[in-house]
Structure 1
Amino acid sequence: MQTFTDPSEFPRLSNTSATIGNFDGVHLGHQRLLDSLAEVSQNTNSRSCAITFEPHPLQFFHKAPERPFVLSSIAEKVRLLEQRSLDFLLVLPFERVASLTPAEFVERYLIKALNISFLLVGYDFSFGRDRAGSFQHLLDAGKQFGFDVDRFPPVLHDNEPISSSRIRQRLWDGDVAAAALLLNRPYSLSGTVIRGDARGRQLGFPTANVADEQTLLPNGVYCTQLSCRGRTHAAVTNIGTRPTFHGAAQVRLVETHVLDAGPNFNLYGQLVEVRFLEYLRRQETFASAEALVQQIGQDIDRSRQWFAAHT
């Protein structure tokens, strides 16, 4: 898959099958739509292209600190889209398209930039300034400019459409198992391991710490997997501010203890991915470090039990 951020650099093609969306999280519904597009592309001997936006409109219209979290950063979104059978990805700066009318968007990007022959959109797709562009707008544009349009039906789970907003709610509730069903994979976050105050190591449980810049999950303890340098490790992860230690800086951290890590296991400065598999408990304040150590031991035992039951 080739990725472009400048429409003028997009190759001039005569037969392009395209789709448009935010694709936040690239969840199961997105995956089914993209697979359908790939099938159309193969059957029509066309090149397939997804169009997405950066930043996500939710973040564009809501400034910090009210800016909402999204399921995937642009880097993660590109990585996930690369796993689908796409030929091209066009990432448009949302500030350039937010004020365009539906007609302006169609002519500037779908016709002049991509020269599309087929467009597939989701069941609830809208576009253009104030989201004024509807599926009927696309049908009319298709007749005017000579391209076909189709609408992909919702993908259901428990009789409800799978959507990014539904997944966000599951994550806010800490229900990572339910979110994984809708994502078709465990929810994860990536980051570089930073140096902390070695509190976990002092307690006998060294951790790989990642600054919390994006996770939607509530504070608490989770059964996880940590992947780094091509290897995946069973782990247990705490998200929170370490309330037991009153002198600790109240910075929200993602602290991951790798089960069965050897004495020379060191991830400082490494890029890691933490996958959240099961919610174990909420964040608590303990009366002493000894009580905390006892609870961490129980958390580790529960994580081992989870892996034993799922491997």
Structure 2
Amino acid sequence: MKVIYGIENIDEKFKNPCVALGTFDGIHLGHQSVIKSAIDKAKELNGTSILFTFSPHPLKVITSSAGPKMINSKDEKEFLLEKLGVDILIFANFTVEFSDLHPEKFMKNVLKDILDVKEIFVGFNYTFGKDAIGTTDYMKELSEKYDIKLNVVEPMKIEDEIVSSTLIREYIKNGDLKKAEKLLGYPVMISGKIVQGKKIGRKLGFPTANLKIVNKAYPPYGVYGVKIIFDSEKDKSYYGIMNIGKNPTLKPGEHSIEVNIFDFDKNVYGEKIIIELMKFIRYEKKFETVENLIKEIKNDIKIWKEWLECH
């Protein structure tokens, strides 16, 4: 999969482009239905499947708030879309100027003139252009005018709930990982670059890879059984336990993500990893002594390894 950052960096013509349009935060099963439809049509036309999305999230630009907590980082989005089989991923830089672009200008200048799109695929509630006036009905008018076929994909329901990023964020926030996973179609994940920690875990006998807390949707603070994938070797995975929280026993108030990777002893500072959350083990708590903390960590590992043996 080729990744292009910025419309201005599109410097080639693609054969029979079929484009999935959207913010696609979460790449959930509803999104996947839209994306797979574009991929299937591109294959049918012997063409190119393109996912066109935006960075940062439009709500961060058009409102005064920080926007929603993101389900996926850019790295996670790239990882998931490559697995789905997208040919080209385009991140358009969403600015105030871009938000003022009239829907017809976006359709003509970007989709028609730059990409020469054959077919567009969007979700049922997709809007675009200045003040979100580009509804799917208006998009249908414009697509007919510019000889582009529009495909509006119906919402996906699971157990009478429409699959949505908003609902998934709520599930993650509340720690309902299995409910979130059911709507996502894959485990809740956290990714980032491994940074230098204070080596406290190593002194306790449990060396950890440390990640920074960023503005994304996190589950409740606690300990989780996880699977770890390194960006440098995506075909291989490791298991371990992760603590996300404030480390009340040793580093009170300091927010962090720490992962103890089983049977692993390499220098991986600066490497990017993806962590899949597979099982909640316990909430974070403060221990009276370091010895009690060590005992509990050993028990966390025991619980997780026993679970792995049974699944």
TM-score by length of 1: 0.89
Q: 1:278 to 1:61 in 2, by over 3 A?
A: farther
User: CA shift at 1:266, angstroms?
Assistant: 4.2
Structure 1 distance, partners of 2:178, 2:153, is 26
Aligned match of 1:219: 221
Task: Note if contact 1:18-1:48 (Cα within 8 Å) is conserved in structure 2.
Answer: yes
Aligned match of 1:234: 239
Aligned match of 1:69: 69
| 1:1-311 → structure 2 map (5 Å cutoff) | 1-4=1-4, 5-7=6-8, 9-12=10-13, 15-61=16-62, 66-95=66-95, 96-215=97-216, 216-228=218-230, 229-230=232-233, 231-245=236-250, 248=251, 250-261=253-264, 264-310=265-311
User: CA shift at 1:257, angstroms?
Assistant: 1.5
Q: 1:191 to 1:85 in 2, by over 3 A?
A: closer
Task: Note if contact 1:7-1:90 (Cα within 8 Å) is conserved in structure 2.
Answer: no
User: CA shift at 1:20, angstroms?
Assistant: 0.7
User: CA shift at 1:219, angstroms?
Assistant: 1.0
Structure 2 distance, partners of 1:236, 1:2, is 33
Structure 1 distance, partners of 2:147, 2:14, is 15
Letter in 2 for 1:92: A
Q: 1:269 to 1:11 in 2, by over 3 A?
A: closer
CA RMSD of aligned residues (A): 2.3
Deviations 1:57-87, CA, capped at 9 Å, x for gaps = 13334567x4432122223323322223333
Task: Note if contact 2:7-2:93 (Cα within 8 Å) is conserved in structure 1.
Answer: no
Would you say how many aligned residue pairs link Structure 1 and Structure 2?
305
Letter in 1 for 2:285: E
Task: Give percent identity, aligned residues only.
Answer: 29
Structure 2 distance, partners of 1:151, 1:118, is 11
Structure 2 distance, partners of 1:117, 1:195, is 48
Structure 2 distance, partners of 1:200, 1:16, is 50
User: CA shift at 1:302, angstroms?
Assistant: 1.3
SS in 2 for 1:140: helix
Task: Note if contact 1:223-1:280 (Cα within 8 Å) is conserved in structure 2.
Answer: yes
Task: Note if contact 1:225-1:233 (Cα within 8 Å) is conserved in structure 2.
Answer: yes
Structure 1 distance, partners of 2:156, 2:227, is 28
TM-score by length of 2: 0.89
Q: 1:125 to 1:293 in 2, by over 3 A?
A: same
Structure 2 distance, partners of 1:226, 1:133, is 40
Deviations 1:65-123, CA, capped at 9 Å, x for gaps = x4432122223323322223333333211114211122222122122222222211111
User: CA shift at 1:188, angstroms?
Assistant: 1.8
Structure 2 distance, partners of 1:8, 1:161, is 36
The answer to which of 22-31 and 41-50 deviates more is: 41-50
Q: 1:88 to 1:271 in 2, by over 3 A?
A: closer
Structure 2 distance, partners of 1:80, 1:28, is 12
The answer to which of 85-94 and 297-306 deviates more is: 85-94
Structure 1, unpaired ranges of 5+: none
Structure 2 distance, partners of 1:154, 1:76, is 23
Q: 1:188 to 1:137 in 2, by over 3 A?
A: same
Structure 2 distance, partners of 1:170, 1:130, is 29
Structure 2 distance, partners of 1:63, 1:240, is 28
